[in-house]
Structure 1
Amino acid sequence: MQLLSLGCRGGNNNCRKQLNTLRSYFGAATRRRHFYTQNRLLQNQMTDLILEVASHGISSKSIY
């Protein structure tokens, strides 16, 4: 999964930065009327990432 390689290295702060980066790619900040749809898509991708990591038992330390 591509998002996994972009990754949650270094714990929560980095995940938050990654989330903000993805949000900016989707243009959620600039197109307010599309925010809900794009944010939903982003949430779904992050949920997929979390499930992917959880299902493989990958700890945050091993994603380097």
Structure 2
Amino acid sequence: EPGDANRDVTVTETFHVQTDDELSDKEIKHIEADDQAIQTILLGLPKDIYAVVDSCKTAQEIWLRVQ
């Protein structure tokens, strides 16, 4: 019944990892550039800051945390 905070909600888990064949050349280049940017940023960080940003997924996320 709507509004019932105790009702069960079924959620189907789906996860699909895209392969390079499913990505456009532009997407692949973007991923590669982001990976390179991540490596460049991480190489210049002190260990204590590296530990804080190690879980970040994108170069932008790392950069924003470091600023």
For Structure 1 versus Structure 2, the TM-score category normalised by the shorter chain is 0.3 to 0.5
Q: Which structure is richer in relative contact order (CA contacts within 8 A, separation 6 or more)?
A: 1
TM-score by length of 2: 0.37
Q: Choose between structure 1 and 2: higher helix proportion.
A: 1
